[in-house]
């Protein structure tokens, strides 16, 4: 089996006295696309934030490349190849598209390759090329989502965490985003995908985890979960 890049062991996270993540275990192997699904408030975003240093752990640990990473901030993690596109995207609204992409490459010194990677992002998202000098804050939600993904790719991540990339987007944009996620995965990037859109997320996943009320309640291949009666009833509206 491919090496484990990211692992949570009995991870617990609380807001004040309320535990939102109650001791979960999961692992992500090199080259995998792993989807984390579950309803509103299940604890998916909290899990992502705890991994990338945005929230303190109440218990357990997160290992990246075999080493504990608690206490490290998002920038340290990006430097080590662990990048996240947060829910709500977080682009720099007062910077242009191109400036945002360059910020994604701030840990790199290889100017020619950075330019080539920006070119690649523009080929994937022609819309960003058309607007490359426009301020990011003036773009639509879907365009900002593309930019946030492009910016994360500019760090050349080993592992890319995506928190609800399809949220609030039009059906055409949702198609585009899932297409790009599958494409980035096919090019070799390991991906953790948090999604409300369970059917789409499981359809492109190697493996998936179902989260309910702060716990992982099911796991399996994307295909098995997609065909599971309980999953279909609870998350696929059947
Ligand atoms: P969604 O898809 O709606 O974002 P989620 O699965 O990502 O759901 P979380 O956002 O992780 O769920 O929320 C898990 C629980 O933690 C919820 O009960 C939520 O109300 C609570 N929670 C989230 N953020 C905070 C906060 N800043 N302070 C207090 N409680 C919070």
Tell me if 83 sits within 8 A of 152, measured CB to CB. Answer: yes
User: Which stretch of DSSP H or E encloses residue 160?
Assistant: strand 159-163
Count of structural domains within the chain: 1
Tell me if 55 sits within 8 A of 46, measured CB to CB. Answer: yes
Q: Which atom of ligand 1 is nearest to 164's Cα?
A: 2
ipTM of the predicted assembly exceeds 0.85? yes
From the CA of 44, how far away is ligand 1's center (Å)? 8
CATH number at residue 10: 3.40.50.300
Tell me, what DSSP letter sits at residue 2?
Answer: P
Res 19 pLDDT > 80: yes
pLDDT at site 236: 84
The model's pLDDT over 40-73, given as tens digits with 9 standing for 90+, comes to 899 999 999 999 888 889 999 999 999 999 778 8
Both structure tokens of 46: 């909290």
For 160, residues 6+ apart whose C-beta sits below 8 A from its C-beta are: 83, 84, 85, 152, 153, 184, 189, 190, 191, 192
Considering only CA atoms, which residue is closest to atom 30 of ligand 1?
Answer: 15
Mutational pocket test of ligand 1: of 46, 161, 211, the residue with most ligand atoms within 8 Å of the beta carbon = 46
User: How far separated are the first and last CA of the chain, in Å rounded?
Assistant: 34
The model's pLDDT over 201-232, given as tens digits with 9 standing for 90+, comes to 999 999 999 999 999 999 999 999 999 999 99
Domain that holds residue 51: 4-235
Q: Which atom of ligand 1 is nearest to 46's Cα?
A: 11
Res 238 pLDDT > 70: no
d(C-alpha 218, C-alpha 103), whole Å: 38
Helices 141-153 and 111-124 pack at an angle, to 10 degrees, of: 150
Both structure tokens of 79: 């430097």
Mutational pocket test of ligand 1: of 13, 15, 51, the residue with most ligand atoms within 8 Å of the beta carbon = 15
């Amino acid at each position: 089996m491919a090496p484990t890049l990211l692992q949570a062991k009995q991870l617990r996270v609380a807001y004040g006295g309320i535990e939102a993540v109650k001791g979960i275990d999961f692992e992500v192997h090199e080259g995998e696309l792993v989807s984390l699904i579950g309803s509103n408030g299940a604890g998916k975003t909290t899990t992502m934030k705890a991994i990338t240093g945005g929230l303190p752990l109440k218990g357990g640990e997160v290992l990246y490349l075999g080493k504990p990473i608690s206490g490290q901030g998002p920038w340290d993690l990006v430097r080590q190849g662990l990048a996240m596109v947060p829910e709500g995207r977080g682009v720099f609204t007062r910077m242009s598209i191109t400036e945002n992409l360059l910020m994604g490459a701030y840990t790199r010194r290889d100017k020619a390759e950075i330019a080539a990677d920006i070119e690649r992002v523009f080929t994937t998202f022609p819309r960003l090329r058309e607007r490359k000098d426009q301020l990011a804050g003036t773009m639509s939600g879907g365009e900002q989502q593309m930019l946030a993904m492009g910016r994360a790719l500019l760090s050349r991540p080993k592992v890319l965490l995506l928190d609800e990339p399809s949220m609030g987007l039009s059906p055409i944009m949702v198609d585009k985003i899932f297409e790009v996620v599958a494409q980035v995965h096919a090019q070799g990037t390991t991906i953790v995908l948090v999604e409300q859109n369970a059917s789409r997320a499981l359809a492109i996943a190697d493996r998936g985890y179902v989260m309910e009320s702060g716990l992982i309640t099911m796991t399996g291949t994307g295909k098995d979960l997609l065909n599971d009666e309980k999953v279909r009833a609870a998350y696929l509206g059947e």
